[in-house]
Chain A
Amino acid sequence: MNERTHQGLALVKGAASSHHSRYLRFRLAEEDFAIPLLSIREVVAMPETTRVPHTPAHFLGIMNLRGQIISIFDLRAKLGFKSERSSETAVVICDFEPLRFGVVVDSVEAVMTLDDADIAPRPDVDTRVNAEYIQGVARRDQRLVLVLDLPKALSLEDLIAMKKLAAAS
């Protein structure tokens, strides 16, 4: 907790001077992705999950994280890749107030610092796929890193809205 606050403060200070933030870089189907470190609570090994009825396929189910029940999503399935597990597979537990959930990734790579200037806007490719969940693109060691907006990527808002609708009908 303290550590996080500390990181938060460091980040706020950093942001005031040179606008750089720290990101967690992870791999998913041979691609590099990044999410803001501040939104991450912890990384755990692939847990046992319990399926929830009537939920989309990328919703793996719920897990017990030291007494707290947390929903787990399969990012591979959501982004249209084939589901795969290895010894490197990990679950990143994220906090996007008021949502707290975990996403399954292929492997966690490293923490990286990105200057705001390093992140280029999402290339405006004419595609049928809604790419809104990509916040921007950064270059690192000849590789592209896609900065993700996780709640958007998982269509969490849609999922909640859908449930509400179902409950109301």
Chain B
Amino acid sequence: MDELQQQLRATFLEEAVDTLETLEHAFLAWENDRTNTQLIDQIFRSAHNLKGSSKAVGLAEIGAFTHDLESLMLKIKNQEIPVSQQVFDLLLRCNDELRRMVLGQRGGDAVATDPELAERLKAAINGQLANPSSVAEVGFEIFTDPAPPVEPEQAAVASMLHPPVDQPLPPPAANLAKAQVEAAAAKKAVSSVVDDSIRVSLGRVDSLVTMIGELVILQTVLSQQRHQIESPLLQKTVVQLAKITKEIQDNSMSLRMMPLRQTFQKMQRIVRDTAKSLGKEIELELNGEDTELDKTVVDLLGDPLVHLIRNASDHGIETPGERAAAGKSAKGRIRLSAGHEGGKIMLEISDDGKGLNAQVLRQKAVEKGLIRTDQSLTQEECQNLIFIAGFSTKASASDISGRGVGMDVVKTNVETVLKGEIQMVTELGKGTTFRIYLPLTLAIIDGLVVRSGSERYVIPLTQVHESIRARREDVHNVVGLGAILSLRGEHIPMHSLATQLGQRGLKNQPPDETAMIIRDKGQPFAITVDEIVSRQQVVIKRLGSEVRQSRGVTGGAVLGDGTAALILDLKELVKKDKRSRGAA
């Protein structure tokens, strides 16, 4: 295959993922609005495009399969085949199958069509809809198909883990956890396609942002030297240049932002499949899909969201019978909404299901040996037990959720990977609400620039609880313990940044020391620096592998004057020191 053809094929595969997403969305919309002929036309067009272009790039198998799918659609369109639940199931499965083949090709493997599905599709075209579409079967379909992927990569992982499509067993927890880890590690995903947008690789955007960052630094230098320029015109130009540079920078930062729409829409499918397999009726209401987040955050958000949505469908919403008995409408409702709140993004997942029963949770935790029988816990503490590793309330792990890897993984993901926070509010009989607070971007942080000796370092502002001037009489050197700082009646250990960083011959010890207090779970501590230089937003830069592994160093940043600085994690840094002291 020559280079041009390879290029064409790569482009096709990129676009096919989007097309299939559009198709799936159209199928789901059509299922809810069966009289909408516009949707049928749209589906028809998409399928036709897919068929044409797949054949053009020499992917005959995808072409043939799409051809059959198109034939089926044609018969439906001409009302030769009545629209039924089975038809939708089949169409969606075909869509999944196509996605599996496309992703396989993208990964460089030719993936053969599942013969059984192809057979069913052919039979359907001839008007014979296979009918073993029992609830049980649909139940495992959800897992054997790479159907509800958050990201194509995850789907790829899932299909790798379960090569034959009809292997009748849900994946064991270990596999799932692995899939999650791998999916989280995978960064790439397909960017959204809106009518008036173009596709640009993330690498290009990043290099543009980097260069603009440099531009801003040069501009700052120019502005500072402005008074040396004699010509008033030049002076004025420099001022104007500064304004425009600032605007360019703001704009460039927004390039990485993308709406949550696609991620949200994927949840529709998950709710549909989950509800079907459990015999429940659930409606998913979406709000704020246009809320924009950094692309990296959006990509990483998929997994936790899928988990929460599945949990809500499985554990939250009751069966129609139970709901009727509780005087609720038969159809359960899950609301997924996003919006801005105080410089952060808040995501809310709420259901009107049965809520969490604190007593039941407590009981389970005791049975599993997670807490002692006599341990006293508040209602809230009981409810938060679901975030503990190894906790699962269902007696037998169901297919949908309850593998015991759920909520704690979600919590860790949100907190460590996404640098966010998760909260839960639940009311027995009324429902449960999860709130996730996320930073707008992972690429920029608010930092304190501090000086130690001649070097400057960046400390993420979130780490620092307060900064104080430690008076000499408040600092006590205790033999064997080191320096202890008395702060409003509290005694906390005090470290020096210079010592922690191994800056030899340096001690931050002016008469009164500038100390930052860190209180983030665990023991609080103080760390002294020579000076807090400024507070500023910095763009986090990747470091080379020869530096990246250093403990206590989380990244690099370029300061206002163009010098490179390290971003420190004080907790890690101090922890390291404790260990080495313990070893010595």
Is this pair of chains taken from one and the same complex? Answer: yes
Q: Which residues in A have some Cβ–Cβ distance to B below 8 Å?
A: 48-55, 59, 61-64, 66-71, 98-101, 156, 159-160, 163-164, 166-167, 169
Compute how far the CA of A52 lies from the CA of B550 in the bound complex, rounded to whole angstroms: 9
Provide the residues of chain A in CB contact with B502, threshold 8 Å.
53-54
Compute how far the CA of A50 lies from the CA of B214 in the bound complex, rounded to whole angstroms: 18
Mask: chain B, 561-584; 1 = CB below 8 Å from A; 0 = not:
011111000000000000100000
Provide the residues of chain B in CB contact with A51, threshold 8 Å.
455, 503
Please name 14 pairs of A and B residues whose Cβ atoms are closer than 8 Å in the assembled complex, sorted by A. A52-B547, A52-B566, A53-B502, A53-B553, A53-B566, A54-B501, A66-B210, A69-B541, A69-B557, A70-B544, A98-B545, A163-B549, A164-B549, A169-B579
Compute how far the CA of A98 lies from the CA of B563 in the bound complex, rounded to whole angstroms: 24
Chain A residue at minimum C-beta to C-beta distance from B545: A160
Provide the residues of chain B in CB contact with A101, threshold 8 Å.
544, 546
Q: Decide yes or no: A163 and B455 within 8 Å by CB, A50-B566, A67-B213, A69-B542 being known contacts.
A: no
Provide the residues of chain A in CB contact with B542, threshold 8 Å.
69
A64 touches B549 (CB 8 A): no
Provide the residues of chain A in CB contact with B213, threshold 8 Å.
67
Compute how far the CA of A93 lies from the CA of B552 in the bound complex, rounded to whole angstroms: 26
Chain A residue at minimum C-beta to C-beta distance from B568: A53
B546 touches A159 (CB 8 A): yes
Write the nearest CB–CB distance from A159 to chain B, whole angstroms: 5
A63 touches B503 (CB 8 A): no
Compute how far the CA of A24 lies from the CA of B563 in the bound complex, rounded to whole angstroms: 28
Compute how far the CA of A71 lies from the CA of B542 in the bound complex, rounded to whole angstroms: 11
Provide the residues of chain B in CB contact with A61, threshold 8 Å.
564
A99 touches B546 (CB 8 A): yes
A71 touches B541 (CB 8 A): no
B302 at the interface (CB under 8 A from A): no
Mask: chain B, 175-188; 1 = CB below 8 Å from A; 0 = not:
00000000000000
Compute how far the CA of A38 lies from the CA of B566 in the bound complex, rounded to whole angstroms: 30
Provide the residues of chain B in CB contact with A54, threshold 8 Å.
501-502, 550
B211 at the interface (CB under 8 A from A): yes
The bracket for how many chain B residues form the interface is 20 to 34
Q: Decide yes or no: A160 and B562 within 8 Å by CB, A62-B556, A66-B214 being known contacts.
A: no
A99 touches B544 (CB 8 A): yes
B340 at the interface (CB under 8 A from A): no
**Nearest 7 interchain pairs by C-beta:** A163-B549, A67-B210, A53-B501, A69-B556, A64-B564, A62-B564, A69-B541
B535 at the interface (CB under 8 A from A): no
Provide the residues of chain A in CB contact with B548, threshold 8 Å.
163
Write the nearest CB–CB distance from B371 to chain A, whole angstroms: 32
Chain B residue at minimum C-beta to C-beta distance from A100: B544
Contact of A166 among B545, B549, B566 (CB under 8 A): B549
Provide the residues of chain B in CB contact with A67, threshold 8 Å.
210-211, 213-214, 541, 558
B551 at the interface (CB under 8 A from A): yes
Provide the residues of chain B in CB contact with A69, threshold 8 Å.
541-544, 556-558, 564
Provide the residues of chain B in CB contact with A71, threshold 8 Å.
543-544, 546-547
Chain B residue at minimum C-beta to C-beta distance from A67: B210
Compute how far the CA of A51 lies from the CA of B579 in the bound complex, rounded to whole angstroms: 23
Provide the residues of chain B in CB contact with A163, threshold 8 Å.
545-550
A50 touches B550 (CB 8 A): no
Provide the residues of chain A in CB contact with B552, threshold 8 Å.
53
Provide the residues of chain A in CB contact with B500, threshold 8 Å.
53
Provide the residues of chain B in CB contact with A64, threshold 8 Å.
558, 562-564
Compute how far the CA of A69 lies from the CA of B538 in the bound complex, rounded to whole angstroms: 13
Provide the residues of chain A in CB contact with B566, threshold 8 Å.
50, 52-53, 62
Provide the residues of chain A in CB contact with B501, threshold 8 Å.
53-54
B543 touches A62 (CB 8 A): yes
Provide the residues of chain A in CB contact with B541, threshold 8 Å.
67-69
Provide the residues of chain A in CB contact with B211, threshold 8 Å.
66-67
Compute how far the CA of A69 lies from the CA of B545 in the bound complex, rounded to whole angstroms: 11
A55 touches B558 (CB 8 A): no
Provide the residues of chain B in CB contact with A167, threshold 8 Å.
549-551
Provide the residues of chain B in CB contact with A55, threshold 8 Å.
547, 550
- Given A69-B541, A71-B544, A101-B544; 8 other pairs, CB 8 A cutoff: A50-B566, A62-B547, A64-B562, A66-B211, A69-B542, A163-B546, A166-B549, A169-B579
Provide the residues of chain B in CB contact with A52, threshold 8 Å.
547, 550, 553, 566
Compute how far the CA of A55 lies from the CA of B547 in the bound complex, rounded to whole angstroms: 9
Chain A residue at minimum C-beta to C-beta distance from B213: A67
Write the nearest CB–CB distance from B202 to chain A, whole angstroms: 16
Contacting residues of chain B (208-228) with chain A, CB-CB under 8 angstroms: 210-211, 213-214
